[in-house]
């Protein structure tokens, strides 16, 4: 698909045409990754962060956040819970937290690989090549790092350097490093960032294919009034008819187009989407191209502080409640819970 075609889909409001897109994406999903929905247990291991992302509720400049960092026993307890709930993967995510040393994470990865049958996915931000390599050597399987937007002007505005010595790294270059090191690589964008045009979102979707991503996670941008972007103090001005809305329907379009562009990728129906439509968002994402969900296994006492944006879905649930809820949702659309680690089909 060329950019103008992608952009045409993004702009369309014709409900018959959209039905066509949903059907096409669902057929491509079935033909390429089947009916299984893979479950990844999401463990939010720290909300400390050294970055000043203008969109994110846990950015280092927010004094609204109660910070936490799990210890080794708590992380292992989370991983064991993922295994007990029969999830094929544990996804450890955090703010970019250098309170976790290279060796601490390597040791955790080694322990999870030795003590459980889980695949290990990491999502710790822009760590150095040396860290990424060490963690792969310790046994990590996958790494998630969204590039957020492929428009450099918008990216630099919403992901600023704190000072001239800031260690901020080029995310697209990191994604290439991750491939070279041997990870399965996941990336994605937020949809409807203020200043994001249809043309730039179409470029993002093209880039998913160009980077040959194994996983593609997309979700709506949800404004947090306690952040510079949410409060409106940071903004890239564009014409109002160019601005992509941060809507539920736009999120389904991007999921469907990602499926058409990358037929074999693992694509989650995300928490941010479920936040916009708590009743049916997860299911509709799965029916329009997605094949993965990431039930949260973070202990409630910590997860209430992983506040990336307001009204986050599942914020006060237990791991067991999320597990049951996801299973019922998957069965309600006549899909099957995936078995095994659910890596990218080769």
Q: Which residues bind ligand SAM (CB under 6 A)?
A: 55-56, 93, 95-96, 123, 125, 145-146, 148, 190, 219, 221-222, 224, 272, 308-309
Between residues 100 and 309, which has the closer beta carbon with respect to ligand SAM? 309
The C-alpha atoms of residue 71 and residue 104 are separated, in whole angstroms, by 10
Between residues 106 and 123, which has the closer beta carbon with respect to ligand SAM? 123
Between residues 20 and 64, which has the closer beta carbon with respect to ligand SAM? 64
Between residues 125 and 228, which has the closer beta carbon with respect to ligand SAM? 125
Between residues 28 and 68, which has the closer beta carbon with respect to ligand SAM? 68
Least Å from the CB of residue 27 to ligand SAM: 28
The C-alpha atoms of residue 323 and residue 39 are separated, in whole angstroms, by 9
Burial 205-232 (b: 16+ CB within 10 A, else e): bbbbbebebbbbbbbbbbbbebbbbbee
Least Å from the CB of residue 315 to ligand SAM: 14
Instruction: Say if residues 265 and 214 touch (Cβ distance below 8 Å).
Output: yes
The C-alpha atoms of residue 15 and residue 38 are separated, in whole angstroms, by 29
Place of tokens 């690589």: 185
Instruction: Kindly provide the residue ranges of all beta strands, DSSP E only, lying in the chain, ordered along the sequence.
Output: 36-46, 89-94, 119-123, 142-144, 184-187, 190-191, 215-216, 219-220, 292-293, 336-337
Least Å from the CB of residue 56 to ligand SAM: 4
Least Å from the CB of residue 330 to ligand SAM: 23
Between residues 148 and 248, which has the closer beta carbon with respect to ligand SAM? 148
Least Å from the CB of residue 129 to ligand SAM: 16
Sequence-ordered list of residues with C-beta below 8 angstroms from that of 247, at least 6 positions apart, any chain:
192, 220, 276
Least Å from the CB of residue 231 to ligand SAM: 12
SS (H, E, C) 37-83: EEEEEEEEEECCCCCCCCCCCCCCCCCCCCCCECCHHHHHHHHHHHH
Least Å from the CB of residue 95 to ligand SAM: 5
Between residues 95 and 228, which has the closer beta carbon with respect to ligand SAM? 95
């Amino acid at each position: 698909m060329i950019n103008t075609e992608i952009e045409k889909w993004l702009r369309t409001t014709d409900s018959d045409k959209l039905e066509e897109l949903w059907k096409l994406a669902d057929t491509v999903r079935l033909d390429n990754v089947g009916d299984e929905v893979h479950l990844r247990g999401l463990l939010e291991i720290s909300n400390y962060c050294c970055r000043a992302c203008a969109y994110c509720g846990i950015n280092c400049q927010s004094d609204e956040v109660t910070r936490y960092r799990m210890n080794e026993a708590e992380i292992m307890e989370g991983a064991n819970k993922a295994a007990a709930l029969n999830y094929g993967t544990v996804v450890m995510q955090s703010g970019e937290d250098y309170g976790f040393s290279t060796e601490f994470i390597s040791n955790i990865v080694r322990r999870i690989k030795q003590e459980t049958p889980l695949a290990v996915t990491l999502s710790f931000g822009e760590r150095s090549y040396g860290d990424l390599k060490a963690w792969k050597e310790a046994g990590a399987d996958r790494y998630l790092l969204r590039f957020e937007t492929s428009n450099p002007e918008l990216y630099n505005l919403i992901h600023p350097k704190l000072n001239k010595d800031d260690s901020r790294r080029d995310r697209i270059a990191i994604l290439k490093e991750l491939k070279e090191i041997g990870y399965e690589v996941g990336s994605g964008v937020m949809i409807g960032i203020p200043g994001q045009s249809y043309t730039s979102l179409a470029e993002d979707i093209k880039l998913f294919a160009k980077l040959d991503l194994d996983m593609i996670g997309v979700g709506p941008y949800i404004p947090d009034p306690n952040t510079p972007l949410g409060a409106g103090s940071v903004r890239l001005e564009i014409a109002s008819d160019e601005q992509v809305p941060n809507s539920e329907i736009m999120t389904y379009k991007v999921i469907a187009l990602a499926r058409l562009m990358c037929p074999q990728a693992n694509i989650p129906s995300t928490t941010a989407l479920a936040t916009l439509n708590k009743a049916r968002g997860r299911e509709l994402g799965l029916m329009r191209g997605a094949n993965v969900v990431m039930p949260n296994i973070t202990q409630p006492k910590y997860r209430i502080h992983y506040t990336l944006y307001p009204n986050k879905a599942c914020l006060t649930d237990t791991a067991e409640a999320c597990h049951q809820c996801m299973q019922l949702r998957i069965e309600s659309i006549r899909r099957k819970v995936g078995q095994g680690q659910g890596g990218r089909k080769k």
